[in-house]
Chain A
């Protein structure tokens, strides 16, 4: 089954404790992207990757890191989470940039 898998689905953490949200796709897609969804703001792009070892900043990259060492995986790293990073996070992949995107189930992160 074609899918994008994010883990964990829910996470509560404390300020400053490094965390990683994993994202994996099984469709051999080149393009992957991370978004955060906040009430009244819609989805905002954090980082994207056009292919292995090629990543770039989206609209709201501050406080986040990513890596793309393998085509299928695109983890999101919060080195020192802060309460303003409490949000719902989505990973997405697509064959190319402007084609249909497939989204993961979302990760609800709470930073206290």
Chain B
């Protein structure tokens, strides 16, 4: 079964703290894609990153970094030196790669609400 678990419902930090959002997934596909999306208080959904299951290299983009570990089925997201503008709900998502059973289907986690206080 396809499943994405974001066990942290809500996290509160003070500005400039580092914070890690956890994402654990289950899939029957041997190749797949993982995503992170951000939903700020305004409600729109914004793409952050896509990672192919073949590529286990960590990725860094400014204050954002992602740690993909296939051995533990996790794709965690870290924000370094958090800012108030990072306050949002963050969703992790999973999709099958072409020719996989779950190609074309997306499965989202329940989201983690991040509150960054000044």
Q: Could you list which residues of chain A lie within 8 angstroms of chain B, going by C-beta atoms?
A: 31, 33, 35, 40-45, 48, 50, 56, 58-59, 88, 90, 92, 97-103, 105-106
In the complex, the answer to whether A105 meets B105 with C-beta atoms within 8 Å is no
Contacts of A90 in B (CB 8 A): 45
| Interface residue total, chain B, C-beta cutoff 8 A | 26
In the complex, the answer to whether B111 meets A33 with C-beta atoms within 8 Å is no
Interface centre among B44, B46, B104, B108 (most CB of A within 10 A): B104
In the assembled complex, the Cα of A18 lies from the Cα of B77 at a distance in Å of 41
In the complex, the answer to whether A40 meets B104 with C-beta atoms within 8 Å is no
Scan B85-118; emit 1 where CB is below 8 A from any A CB, else 0. 0000001010101100001111111110000000
Q: Which residue of A lies closest to B104 (CB)?
A: A97
Contacts of B103 in A (CB 8 A): 97
In the assembled complex, the Cα of A36 lies from the Cα of B44 at a distance in Å of 13
Known A-B contacts A58-B106, A59-B105, A97-B95; the reply to A42 vs B111 at CB < 8 A is yes
Contacts of A40 in B (CB 8 A): 9, 110
Contacts of B54 in A (CB 8 A): none
In the complex, the answer to whether A98 meets B95 with C-beta atoms within 8 Å is yes
In the assembled complex, the Cα of A4 lies from the Cα of B101 at a distance in Å of 28
In the complex, the answer to whether A45 meets B45 with C-beta atoms within 8 Å is no
**Residue B33, interface by CB 8 Å:** yes
Contacts of A98 in B (CB 8 A): 33, 50, 95, 97-98
In the complex, the answer to whether B107 meets A45 with C-beta atoms within 8 Å is yes
Contacts A42-B108, A97-B98, A103-B46 supplied; 10 other A-B pairs, CB < 8 Å: A31-B104, A40-B9, A41-B110, A42-B91, A42-B111, A50-B104, A97-B95, A100-B50, A101-B47, A105-B43
Known A-B contacts A98-B33, A103-B45; the reply to A43 vs B108 at CB < 8 A is yes
In the complex, the answer to whether A42 meets B109 with C-beta atoms within 8 Å is yes
In the assembled complex, the Cα of A90 lies from the Cα of B39 at a distance in Å of 12
Task: List, sorted by A's number, 17 A–B pairs whose CB atoms are closer than 8 Å.
Answer: A33-B106, A41-B110, A42-B91, A43-B45, A43-B106, A45-B105, A45-B107, A45-B108, A88-B43, A97-B98, A97-B103, A98-B97, A101-B47, A102-B47, A103-B46, A105-B43, A105-B44
